[in-house]
Amino acid sequence: MIQGEYQGNNVEKIKKILFQDDEAGLELFRLMQLYLFKDSDKDDVLKLTESNIPPSQPNETGYLPIGTWSPVFEDGEVVFVRNKQADTAFWESNCKQFCLKKKSTHKRVCVIGESVAAGMFFTPHISPTKTLSEYLELHSEGMWDVIDLTRNSMNAGALLETCRAALQINPDYIVVIAGNNWYTDITIEHSGPISRRRMYVNALDKGNICAIIQQYKEKSVEFAKEILRQIDGISSEVQTQFLFVLPAVNYKDWERRYPLHWLDNKKTSKWYEKFKLAVHAIENKDYESGLKLGVEMIQIDGGTNATSSRIVANCLMKLGRNEEAYAYCAAESDNSLLFDEITSFPGMSSLVRKEIKREEKSFKHIFFFDMEEIFQKFSGEKVVGSPFFVDYCHLSPEGYKISMAPIAGYITNCDVQIKNIDDDNHTVGSFYLATAYFCIALYNTHLNRPVINNFNMKKYVSLFQKAVDCCETVLDIMELYIKARGCQFGTGFALSKSGQKLSDMLNSPLDLPITQQAPGVDAFAITCICEILTANGRKGKKLLEEYQRAYINLLDKGVDLINPQYMEWINSHTMAAIDSENGTWRNMPYHKSWWPWSYFTLASDTLNDLEMEIVLRLPTSFTAKEKKRVSVVINNKVIKNIFVIDKWTMHKVTISAGCLSKGFNRVSLEWPELEQNEEKAISDLKDRYVKGRNVEFYPIFGEIFSMRVRKKTK
């Protein structure tokens, strides 16, 4: 009893210390967690290599499962049979089963890796494994078992686990295609647990955000080398030869737009001033000026931001200076993986690629292939993109053919001719290709964000047309998509008849969830699809009007444009996730802008004036005393300037029918220049990071509590 009383008193003492108004107790407690209870560096690496495959143990056969394939006895032999488990959908291989023992007349090759290795979008009909198998059959007289053990989103731990488990079936070769998904566990998190903050707290304490970024890059290289050391160790103990393929990244066609983090040199606002000028120059095709401004931005940010690097790369490529653009493309991709608040796209770091190639000989039991070099040699271009890729890193069927040829050549010890593979339309079926390219077009339209503010409609429309060129039956799928997206404003997609029918027609159960990540009103994709439908003799115009009409009717009661479904490029404001609450008010209770502009989609007719009621403010950290101007813009035309302060204020704006287009309209707010105490912002960030609180790595231009639009009452 007395002991219990003492426990109670001690708990109260701890509470009193932790909840002091000045947070000194909380800070001390967090510092102890960060520094005194830190794991060893070795333990940190072991934690980073935890597998994302469900754990398993040897069963009655004495063997471990290999991925989703479980060992069973069948006619006295051990056979690995595809089995349902928590992550089965991610193993998209159509391999039903394979034997423990290979035939004496056969050689066995296992392909292991993440979504690039799996053949995302084209599985199960076309994949790198199938392409490699065809090459081996064509260019050797022997018999081959080529087993696809790839898994979408396979992390480093799962890769190591699958490599070890695959040795049970005694392969002659293991081909590993991996390295894109290794860095999510070292991402710099704005709300990460103390265990994850330990990686960066010293760098932040001694330096600033740029020091954290440098630490991240060093850790990514260190981590990749550790993974390869472990694979090399596995390979050293067996006769199986390991071939490791460094995946390539689409530098040419995929753009990675990311806001600038707070800088250490008090020039964050200066960077954004130049950014606005650079965007204006590029939109007016003044690439020389855009290039000059982009270089100045990099000089300010020290080469730590993706957007400035992409601006320079785009301008150089427009000016025909592709060789020079390569380094900036690589920097853009590397700098897009740093922070967790905005959707990033997997890709092998150029620093990791360079370091692996530099130390290639130290991994004595691995033979390396560099997919980027393969594409560069084939195309004669330094900056590679289409036709090898369909998005930021996933390959096209042509990419499979070109990248697998030298691997097949190494295994068979002969010169493999790429042209010997039959056309995909002939061997696979045009409809399967068409559905794949439809999903690819959706994915690009939802996620490939340009660094400027205008969209190249022709670019995206052509992606949907490519699907039609494969097979016109895909037009049926496009119509189903429009109808399903219109069901309960998208929330009824999966339950609608159109949505269910559409899902049954796709190649993989993963395709639709992947392409459907928080698209919102989806105005851009819907417009592109309806344009394609109309151009191909379907009732695209009617479908578009019906889709828009549902949103227009909401104006009778009014809509709030800060509902995430109305935000343009919602994944620029939040992490993409297959999550029912992602991109909703529960996840984003009010809008905060990391950019000088905020963009929204408004569906309207041209019969009625509209009234807008906006509640907004500048960030409380703004140092300006006087009111600042915010411009309200409809379809690139300023309709009103309002003046705001760092407290919530309400403003009414009338939108005349003459300013509106029938259907989708682009509503934007242009925020004032940043006027914040950058030194204090970084000091506050450090303080919150150490205490385990959420931090803002990016400056905020403005915040909107609500932006309601309704038909104007007479």
CATH number of the domain that residue 695 is part of: 2.60.120.260
Confidence at residue 17, expressed as pLDDT on a 0 to 100 scale: 66
Q: Locate 388 and state its tokens.
A: 């090898």
Where is the domain boundary, 403, 418, 433?
418
Cα separation values, 49 from 39, 66, 154, 170, 183, Å: 15, 17, 11, 24, 11
Q: What pLDDT shows up at residue 568?
A: 86
Structure tokens at 144: 């081959």
Go through the chain and tell me how many residues it has.
714
421 falls in which pLDDT band (50, 70, 90)? very low
Q: Is residue 617 part of a domain?
A: yes
The CB density around residue 116, as the number of other CB atoms within 10 Å, is 30
* Euclidean distance between the first and the last CA atom of the chain, given in angstroms as a whole number: 74
Task: Judge whether 8 lies within some domain.
Answer: no
pLDDT digits (tens, 9 = 90+) for 269-295: 999 999 999 999 999 999 999 999 999
Weakest mean pLDDT among 42-46, 448-452, 502-506, 682-686: 42-46
In a domain, 236, yes or no: yes
Report yes or no on whether pTM surpasses 0.75: yes
**For tokens 């439809």, what's the residue?**
438
**Three-state SS at 559:** strand
pLDDT in tens, 59-102: 999 999 999 999 999 999 999 999 888 888 888 888 899 999 99
Q: Is 378 contained in some domain? A: yes
How does pLDDT run across 44-59, given as a tens digit for each residue?
Answer: 555 667 888 888 899 9
Q: Is residue 712 part of a domain?
A: yes
Last residue of a domain, one of 398, 418, 438: 418
Q: List the beta bridge partners of residue 651.
A: 614
How distant, in Å, are the alpha carbons of 420, 563, 572, 596 from that of 451?
Answer: 40, 23, 11, 13
Q: Is residue 541 part of a domain?
A: no
141: CATH: 3.40.50.1110
Q: What is the pLDDT of residues 95-144, one digit of tens each?
A: 899 999 999 999 999 999 999 999 999 988 899 999 999 999 998 888 99
The residue behind tokens 């790839």 is 150
Residue corresponding to tokens 């400056």: 699
Q: Does position 36 have pLDDT exceeding 70, yes or no?
A: no
* pLDDT band, residue 578 (cuts 50/70/90): very low
Residue 3, pLDDT > 70, answer no
Could you say which of 418, 451, 474 is where a domain stops? 418
Domain count of the fold of the chain: 2
b/e sequence 259-280, b meaning 16+ C-beta within 10 Å: bbbbbbeebbebbbbbbbbbbe
Q: What range does the domain containing 379 cover? A: 107-251+348-418
Residue 49: inside a domain? no
Residue 355 to residues 50, 247, 350: CA-CA distances in angstroms? 23, 14, 9
Interval 667-672 mean pLDDT: 96
638: in domain: yes
Q: Band of the pLDDT at 425, cuts 50, 70, 90?
A: very low
Strands 559-560 and 143-148: unpaired
pLDDT band at 574 (very low <50, low <70, confident <90, very high): low
pLDDT confidence bin for 570, thresholds 50/70/90: low
pLDDT at residue 586 is higher than 60 = no
The per-residue b/e assignment along 186-221, b for 16 or more CB within 10 angstroms, e otherwise, is: bbbbbebebebbbbbbebbeeebbbbbbebbbebbb
Say which residues have a Cβ less than 8 Å from residue 84's Cβ, sequence separation at least 6. 68
